[in-house]
Amino acid sequence: MADVQRITLSLRLQDVGGEVNIDPAVSDAGLLSSAQHLVLLIHGYNNSYKDAVDAYNGFHARQKELDSAARYGLGRTFVEVYWPGDADWGVASFLYYMGSIAHAKESAAVLAHYLLTQAGGARIDIVAHSMGCRVGLELLYALDTQQATLNIGRIVCMAGAVPTFMLVDAQPPRRLRPAYDRVLREGARSLYSGADMVLAAAFPAGQSLAAGEEGATPSALGHAFWVDASVPLNLGQAENPGAGHSDYWGWNTKPQALQCAQHAAREVRGYLQFPSAGSREVGARTLLEAKAIEARELVQQREIAEREAQYRAP
């Protein structure tokens, strides 16, 4: 069995709750700086350090089920990101949602700076869940704001706790869309579920109570198929039928949750093109997706060039 390269990168000051650590702790700085292809794993809201460990172990367990030789790790170095999206409030910790948004933004800014200085030459893909998807997209925003460049290829958003309006292409541009267009090299895939009651009820309420321009009862990217004229052309969407909000990483081995996590694992594997002995069906699907992405990229590059020309015009 092949060894899977796993690095921990912690933005936490304590295992439960706490503020963002502006001096991240990494388990193997040498491996991080020398890696050619990184895959960032980013957990979601209300996850303690231990919860995130369980989530990431579940991710690797489900991937190994798909390929017992762990070929999915060939050529990849997995960076397991820990950020303080929780509070040390005991049974009331779930009420911390509004504060977690600020921590998501701050964590993304710290992560952007760290990756620029320590892993600037690597290709980077991202697998994120829930509010971790916001961290991933805010990472693009931080890079765009700094006019800095990282080779971020693809993002998989599982049950994305991200308001769809933030990705709308409008005038003035919504918060996350310009960075999405300018920084992300290839595209994104959103795994959604209409059975996700957290995103159906708690997410709109939490966003409405949050400070800043978080929207009034907005729709979450990971709750339903997003239909809008300005949906990014390189944003693919796939349903995870029957999945609850926590049924993606694979730590929950109850039958229904496990089935949903296995479905998510196959989607991640196919979209990020993990090495595998794979079936002909998976290979054909990957090839078709690659062709579709290439076509979308050409259209998007033209649109970006047109926008930049407009901005430069007197």
Query: In this structure, is residue 296 part of a structural domain?
Result: no
Query: In this structure, is residue 12 part of a structural domain?
Result: yes
Higher pLDDT, residue 100 or 135: 135
Q: What is the mean pLDDT of residues 79-83?
A: 98
Query: In this structure, is residue 144 part of a structural domain?
Result: yes
Query: In this structure, is residue 52 part of a structural domain?
Result: yes
Q: What is the mean pLDDT of residues 67-79?
A: 93
Q: How far, in Å, CA of 258 to CA of 191, rounded?
A: 15
pLDDT score of 288 more than 80: no
Query: In this structure, is residue 294 part of a structural domain?
Result: no
How many domains does one find in the chain? 1
Range of the domain at 32: 5-277
User: In this predicted structure, what is the pLDDT of residue 161?
Assistant: 96
pLDDT score of 88 more than 90: no
User: In this predicted structure, what is the pLDDT of residue 30?
Assistant: 96
User: In this predicted structure, what is the pLDDT of residue 3?
Assistant: 86
User: In this predicted structure, what is the pLDDT of residue 148?
Assistant: 84
Q: How far, in Å, CA of 207 to CA of 209, rounded?
A: 5
Q: How far, in Å, CA of 164 to CA of 50, rounded?
A: 30
pLDDT score of 293 more than 70: no
Residue 297: which pLDDT band, with cuts at 50, 70 and 90?
Answer: low
Q: What is the mean pLDDT of residues 110-115?
A: 96
Cα torsion through 199, 201, 204, 205, rounded to 10: -140
Q: How far, in Å, CA of 273 to CA of 278, rounded?
A: 10
User: In this predicted structure, what is the pLDDT of residue 285?
Assistant: 46
| 276 and 65 Cβ atoms separated by less than 8 Å | no
Query: In this structure, is residue 287 part of a structural domain?
Result: no
pLDDT score of 308 more than 60: no
Query: In this structure, is residue 173 part of a structural domain?
Result: yes
pLDDT score of 90 more than 80: no
Q: Note the pLDDT tens digit of each residue in 148-195.
A: 889 999 999 999 999 999 999 988 889 999 999 999 999 999 999 999
Whole-model pTM over 0.85 = yes
pLDDT score of 283 more than 50: no
Token code pair at residue 298: 């050409």
Q: Note the pLDDT tens digit of each residue in 238-257.
A: 999 999 999 999 999 999 99
Q: How far, in Å, CA of 188 to CA of 192, rounded?
A: 13
Higher pLDDT, residue 311 or 52: 52
Residue 64: which pLDDT band, with cuts at 50, 70 and 90?
Answer: very high
User: In this predicted structure, what is the pLDDT of residue 20?
Assistant: 97
What is the Cα 303 distance to its own chain's centre?
24
Token code pair at residue 22: 């502006």
How many CA atoms lie within 13 Å of 13's alpha carbon, on the beta-carbon side? 11
- Among residues 93, 84, 83, 72, the alpha carbon closest in space to that of 6 is found at 72
User: In this predicted structure, what is the pLDDT of residue 169?
Assistant: 93
CATH number at residue 9: 3.40.50.1820
**HEC-encoded secondary structure of the chain:** CCCCEEEEEEEECCCCCCCEEEEEEECCHHHHHHCCEEEEEECCCCCCHHHHHHHHHHHHHHHHHHCCCCHHHCCCEEEEEECCCCCCCHHHHHHHHHHHHHHHHHHHHHHHHHHHHHCCCCEEEEEEECHHHHHHHHHHHHHHHCCCCCEEEEEEEECCCCEHHHHCCCCCCCCCHHHHHHHCCCEEEEEECCCCHHHHHHHHHHHHHCCCCCCCCCCECCCCCCCCCCCCCCEEEEECCCCCCCCCCCCCCCHHHHHHHHHHHHHHHHHCCCCCCCCHHHHHHHHHHHHHHHHHHHHHHHHHHHHHHHHHCC
Query: In this structure, is residue 242 part of a structural domain?
Result: yes
Mean pLDDT of the chain: 89
Q: Note the pLDDT tens digit of each residue in 189-229.
A: 999 999 999 999 999 999 998 888 899 999 999 999 999 99
Q: What is the mean pLDDT of residues 267-295?
A: 65
User: In this predicted structure, what is the pLDDT of residue 14?
Assistant: 96
What percentage of the chain has pLDDT greater than the value 90?
74
